[in-house]
Amino acid sequence: MAQHYKNLINGKWVDSKSGRTFESRNPANWNEVVATFPKSTKEDVDDAVKAARAAFEKWRLVPAPKRGDIMRKIGDLLVAKKEELAREMTREMGKVITETRGDVQEGIDTAYYAATEGRRLFGNTVPSELPNKFAMAIRVPIGVAGIITPWNFPMAIPTWKMFPAILSGNTVVFKPASDTPKLAAMLVEIMMEAGLPEGVVNIVHGGGGEVGNAITQHRDVDLISFTGSTAIGKQITKDSADTLKRVSLELGGKNAQIVMDDADLELALEGVLWGAFGTTGQRCTATSRLILHDKIYDKFLSMLVDRTNKLRLGDGLLPTSDVGPCVNESQRSTVEEYVKIGVEEGAKLVAGGKRAADGDLAKGWFHQPTIFSDVTREMRIAKEEIFGPVLSVLRAKNFEDAVTILNNTEYGLSSSIYTQDVNNAFKAMRDIQSGITYINSATIGAEAHLPFGGVKKTGNGHREGGWTVYDFYTEWKAVYVDYSGKLQRAQIDNY
Ligand code: UN1
Average pLDDT over residues 261-265: 98
* Domain covering 255-439: architecture: 3-Layer(aba) Sandwich (3.40)
Q: What is the pLDDT of residue 453?
A: 98
Average pLDDT over residues 257-275: 98
Ligand 1 binding pocket includes 156 (Cβ within 6 Å): yes
Closest-CA residue to 381 (of 339, 329, 348): 339
Ligand 1 binding pocket includes 444 (Cβ within 6 Å): yes
**C-alpha 414 to ligand 1 mean position (Å):** 10
Cβ atoms of 395 and 413 within 8 Å: the answer is no
Ligand 1 binding pocket includes 285 (Cβ within 6 Å): yes
Which amino acid residue places its CA nearest to atom 3 of ligand 1?
284
Q: What is the pLDDT of residues 370-388, one digit of tens each?
A: 999 999 999 999 999 999 9
Domain ranges, ordered by start, for the chain: 3-251+459-478, 255-439
Q: How confident is the model at residue 1 (pLDDT cuts 50, 70, 90)?
A: confident
Whole-number Å distance between alpha carbons of 482 and 488: 8
Closest-CA residue to 415 (of 403, 397, 423): 403
pLDDT at 357 over 80: yes
Residue from 149, 441, 444, 463 whose mutation best tests the ligand 1 pocket (most atoms within 8 A of CB): 444
Average pLDDT over residues 212-241: 96
The CB-side HSE value for 285 (13 A sphere, CA atoms) comes to: 24
Which stretch of 182-191, 209-218, 237-246, 346-355 has the lowest confidence by average pLDDT? 237-246
CA 390 to chain centre: 20
Other CB atoms closer than 10 Å to residue 209's CB: what's the count?
A: 8
Whole-number Å distance between alpha carbons of 478 and 112: 29
Average pLDDT over residues 91-115: 98
Closest-CA residue to 206 (of 43, 89, 365, 95): 43
Average pLDDT over residues 170-189: 98
Q: What is the pLDDT of residues 67-76, one digit of tens each?
A: 999 999 999 9
Whole-number Å distance between alpha carbons of 340 and 317: 30
**Whether pTM exceeds 0.85:** yes
Q: What is the pLDDT of residues 448-483, one digit of tens each?
A: 999 999 999 999 999 999 999 999 999 999 999 999
Q: Ligand 1, residue 227: give the atom nearest the CA.
A: 3
Whole-number Å distance between alpha carbons of 37 and 7: 8
**C-alpha 446 to ligand 1 mean position (Å):** 6
Average pLDDT over residues 262-273: 98
**Mean pLDDT of the chain, nearest integer:** 98
| CATH superfamily, with its number, for domain 3-251+459-478 | Aldehyde Dehydrogenase; Chain A, domain 1 (3.40.605.10)
Q: What is the pLDDT of residue 162?
A: 99
**C-alpha 298 to ligand 1 mean position (Å):** 30
Angle at 100 between CA 189 and CA 32, to 5 degrees: 75
**C-alpha 463 to ligand 1 mean position (Å):** 13
What is the percentage of the chain residues whose pLDDT exceeds 90? Answer: 99
Strands 474-482 and 436-439 turn out to be unpaired
Active-site residues, by number, are 250, 284
pLDDT at 55 over 80: yes
**C-alpha 283 to ligand 1 mean position (Å):** 6
Q: Ligand 1, residue 106: give the atom nearest the CA.
A: 10
Q: Ligand 1, residue 436: give the atom nearest the CA.
A: 4
Order across the sheet with 474-482: list the strands.
124-127, 133-141, 474-482
Sequence-separated contacts (24+) of 399-402 with Cβ below 8 Å: 399/260, 399/424, 399/427, 399/428, 402/258, 402/260, 402/291, 402/293
